[in-house]
Amino acid sequence: MFGISRGFAYFLASFKISLRYKVNVWLQVLGAVILVSIQYFLWKNIGNNNESLLNGIEVNSIMLYVIFSRLLVFIIPGNGTTSFISQKILKGTISVDLLRPVHIQVSALCYEFGKLLFNSIFILVPSILLSILFLDIPVIKVNIDQFLLFGLSFTLSYLIAFQMSFMIGVFSIWFGNVWGVREFYEALLMIFGGSLIPVSLYPTFFQMIAIYSPFQSIYFTPLTWISNIDHFIDHPILVQVCWLFIFSSLNHFLLRYALRRAVIQGG
Amino acid sequence: MKRYMTLYYHYVKLAFKSLFVYRMDFLIGSFGFILSTGALFFSLFILFNYVEEIGGWTYWEVVFLFAYTSLARAIWDTFMFNMMSLSTKVIDGSFDLYLTRPISALFQLLFEKIDPDTIGELLFSFFLTFVCLYKFEILFDVKMSLLFCGFLFSSVLAFSAIHLVVNALSFWIMETRTVNFIIWRLDELIQYPISIYPKWLQKILILIPFAFCGYFPVSLLINAEHSLYVYMTLIAGPVAFCVALLVWNQGMRKYQSTGS
């Protein structure tokens, strides 16, 4: 169906492409560790000089939350997916992809999976190990249920982020250049997704907006499971499923409409 | 000199013209950039709802630090962003083009393009800095305002020096994208007072003159201190830039076209 088995070729290709730049990997790990240590030192300083509870949340939980959110940036789909599609549209090579027996969305997703595998093995795991080795990162007890829920929640957030980035890529049919839209999306992700600081700390007004936005489903929801922070929505995973459904259907129609409208620019 | 000025005028004119090619995207992007700078500011604001100080700095002091570093970086980013493309130019051989023209290659590299995308960020951080200057009563104090301008000039130079050295490495190792990536990460380190970091990290930040892009100038301005540090901060940028120029010249001497 949809040529998923054929999509495997894209998966393998993107994994191999990433493998070519092995030197980069160590520097990226270094970058990730720097990001983690900034948050570590910041929150350690805050923890030492204030009470251990902020708005009823333990500083250690917040520290874990922000550290993991900095690491998620490396694997959540974003730039890569957007330019995968927008480059094809701008250059006109999308005409070739449309002839292929793989649905364009499947190939984009498989391409992203390849990077996910690569980045998890070569960037995420080493960064976490190094951070644990050099910084004394707090450990909190997470039971197996929470961990499984995190897995499920992360999978959903991954797919939602993929759908949104894909959609921005499709926008390039109308805008030409989508750099600006992407910048805008990332800003919203920072504010309402809680990728900088947990949404639970926001003033009520901003919390309300964040709750009803799709952005919190991407960062906030999965991270709450592993950092013991309350996710003040009743059924966070159900909400994620809804957003995923909404964005998938939107994309489905948008892509169909866009392609009918597309005039391939010669290639 | 006059020739360089005219040239720069034309570069700027071209940059603004190319801006309007993708008008819609530019507008959304500028707004997005303001929003993402605003998001970082927003997270500081939230943080200070719960804490009194970070590393001994109060809310407005941290805001000033944030505004100052953003401004210095935005100035660099808007006017000298093109140096980031050196690596690509060396690899695909288009750097040779600069060498055939009768003006300094460095001048062309630095100023050939303006990055209009960051104009939103520039305006936002300028506005925020202005508010802080007012708040700390620096704005109406002629001496302090002059000092501020001097510091800012030095910080922008320090910023450029760091990035110039990193990019000049492409004369030796060609691919510098990842080193650039690390330097961007280090940028983030200085948005907070460096007093929250352990001693060894503070020393690194002073050595790579990142501490002179925010922490030192801002703390000197806030405390209106008149110590040796004032002079050090004022000359740190120019000195760093001279060092960067030396590295650049070495690189130019070493440069061999890839022939592609």
| Residue of A215 and B114 predicted with greater confidence | A215
Phi/psi of residue A173, nearest 5 degrees = -60, -35
The predicted structure's pLDDT at residue A267: 43
The predicted structure's pLDDT at residue A73: 86
Nearest-CB residue to B36 (from A34, A42, A186): A186
Q: Is A197 on the interface with B (CB under 8 A)?
A: yes
pLDDT > 70 in chain A, percent: 94
Is A164's pLDDT higher than 90? yes
Q: Is A242 on the interface with B (CB under 8 A)?
A: no
* Per-domain residue ranges of chain A: 4-261
From chain B residues 56-115, the ones with a CB under 8 A of any chain A CB are: none
Q: Which residues of B touch A184 (CB under 8 A)?
A: 28-29, 31-32, 35
pLDDT tens per residue across span A174-217: 877 787 888 889 889 988 988 888 998 888 898 889 988 999 99
Q: Is B150 on the interface with A (CB under 8 A)?
A: no
Question: To 10 degrees, the CA torsion angle through A109, A236, A143, A134?
Answer: 60
Q: How far is A95 from chain B (nearest CA, A)?
A: 23
* Cβ <8 Å between A34 and B49: no
Most confident of B82-91, B115-124, B238-247: B238-247
pLDDT band of residue A5 (cuts 50, 70, 90) is confident
pLDDT tens per residue across span A7-60: 788 888 888 877 776 667 787 888 888 889 988 998 888 888 777 777 778 888
Q: How far is A28 from chain B (nearest CA, A)?
A: 7
* Average pLDDT over all residues of chain B: 84
Q: Which residues contact B199 (CB under 8 A, 6 or more apart)?
A: none
Residue A196, classed as helix, strand or coil, is coil
The predicted structure's pLDDT at residue B53: 84
pLDDT band of residue A262 (cuts 50, 70, 90) is low
Q: B122-127: which pairs have CB atoms within 8 A and are 24 or more residues apart?
A: B122/B71, B122/B74, B122/B75, B122/B77, B122/B78, B123/B34, B124/B33, B124/B34, B124/B37, B124/B38, B124/B70, B125/B37, B125/B67, B125/B70, B125/B71, B125/B74, B126/B71, B126/B74
Q: Is B224 on the interface with A (CB under 8 A)?
A: no
Is B258's pLDDT higher than 70? no
Q: Is A191 on the interface with B (CB under 8 A)?
A: yes
Q: Is residue B33 part of a domain?
A: yes
Domain count, chain B: 1
pLDDT band of residue A242 (cuts 50, 70, 90) is very high
Q: Is residue B260 part of a domain?
A: no
Q: Which residues of A touch B91 (CB under 8 A)?
A: none
| Residue of B62 and A98 predicted with greater confidence | B62
The predicted structure's pLDDT at residue B37: 83
Nearest-CB residue to B22 (from A34, A176, A184): A176
Is A266's pLDDT higher than 60? no
The predicted structure's pLDDT at residue B67: 92
Q: How far is A170 from chain B (nearest CA, A)?
A: 14
The predicted structure's pLDDT at residue B90: 81
Instruction: Identify the DSSP state of A217.
Output: G
Cβ-contact B86, B168 below 8 angstroms:
yes
Mean pLDDT on B141-166: 90
The predicted structure's pLDDT at residue A88: 85
Nearest alpha carbon to residue A228 among A56, A33, A76: A56
Phi/psi of residue A58, nearest 5 degrees = -70, 140
Q: Which residues of B touch A188 (CB under 8 A)?
A: 35
| Residue of A163 and A265 predicted with greater confidence | A163
* Cβ <8 Å between A27 and B117: no
Q: Is the dihedral of CA B45, B51, B55, B58 positive or negative?
A: positive
Residue A30: closest C-alpha in chain B? B182
> E strands within chain A?
53-54, 57-58
Q: Is residue B238 part of a domain?
A: yes
Q: Is residue B90 part of a domain?
A: yes
Radius of gyration of chain A (CA): 20
Tell me which of A104-108, A136-140, B56-60 is least confident.
A136-140
Instruction: Note down the domain range covering B19.
Output: 2-254
Q: How far is B251 from chain A (nearest CA, A)?
A: 22
Nearest-CB residue to B29 (from A45, A179, A203): A179
Residue A44: closest C-alpha in chain B? B196
Residue B251 tokens, joined: 């690189």
The predicted structure's pLDDT at residue A161: 95
Mean pLDDT on A105-114: 89
* Cβ <8 Å between A42 and B33: no
Give the A:B interface size as CB pairs under 8 Å: 117
Tell me which of A61-65, A262-266, B29-33, B135-139 is least confident.
A262-266
Residue B31: closest C-alpha in chain A? A184
